[in-house]
Each structure stands twice: as structure tokens, then as C-alpha cells.
Amino acid sequence: MATGAANGTNRTALAAVVANTLMDYGKIAGKMCFTYDILTAAQQFDAASEFTMGKALPIEAVPLFGIVKFTGSSTATLLVGKTGDTNLFGTATALTTTPIQVIMPTVPNTPLTAAVDILVTTATAAIVTSEVLELVIVYAMP
């Protein structure tokens, strides 16, 4: 193995431009927004259970990433998405092993074409009484 250094794609692109070719950031800037919610299980929720969390994401929102925090002993895998695309915003696996996870959209940098509710689906195993799920979805608005 060897050590090394590298630039990300955007850093490389930005390093290659000159001042007179840059876009006006006032015209391309948007707003960073987020939605947060917490669910404490009042009962056992078996695999294939669905939870609607946070506020609906508006039309043209661009989901950037999410953070899932889980407190409990469930080994469930969670799909975070919307009706018809259950893992659109990402998948969290092995909750007890990694109780805080960053999830990424399956189709990055893509604006939503309609407002959508955020659905969390238990894909495997149950979430049992008193376990706690916290979810943050970070998105950009034009």
C-alpha cells in the first residue's frame, strides 16, 4: 500500500477555471434545507412496516444525504424513500452495529418532480417497543 493525495471531481473542475469564466454565484446559489423527525416505537413493528417521517419534501427539492440514528437492539435494515421508490433516499443496514449512518440517494443530484412524503420501511427484522429512530434528510432548493 502507498499513501497518496487526490482531489475530488468538483475540486479538480474548480481548480481549472479562471475568474472570467465563473458563473455568478448569486444566480446559481440555492438554499440548504433539512427535515428532522424522531420515532419512539410504541409497539413492535415487524418487517415491512412503514413510518412517515418529517415534513414532505417539496417539488424541485434535490435530496443530498440523510442521517439515520438508531437506539435499540434491532438488527433491522431500513429503506428510506417514498411511495413507489422505497430506497430513493438511501438504505441503513445493521442498525445495532452502526447506530449512526449517513445514507445517500440512489439517484444523486436529481430534483424531485413532485412533493413527496418520506417513508421509512423496515426491510428486515422488527423494531421493538421503546426503540428510537431519528432521521434527518438534507436537501437543496433552487
The per-residue pLDDT for range 40-75, each reduced to its tens digit, is 988 898 989 999 999 899 999 999 999 999 999 999
pLDDT in tens, 20-33: 555 555 445 578 89
> Which grid cell sits at 42?
410504541
**Which of the four CATH numbers 1.10.3470, 3.30.1490, 2.60.120, 2.60.40 does domain 29-141 have?**
2.60.120
Convert 78-91 to b/e letters by CB count within 10 Å (16 or more is b). Answer: bbbbbeeebbbbbb
Average pLDDT over residues 105-110: 90
pLDDT above 90 as % of the chain = 56
Strand order through the sheet with 100-103: 31-40, 132-141, 62-71, 100-103
Q: How many residues does the chain have?
A: 142
Residue 4 has pLDDT above 70, yes or no: no
Mean pLDDT of the chain: 85
Extents of the domains making up the chain: 29-141
Residue 110 pLDDT exceeds 50? yes
User: Is the per-residue pLDDT at 11 higher than 70?
Assistant: no
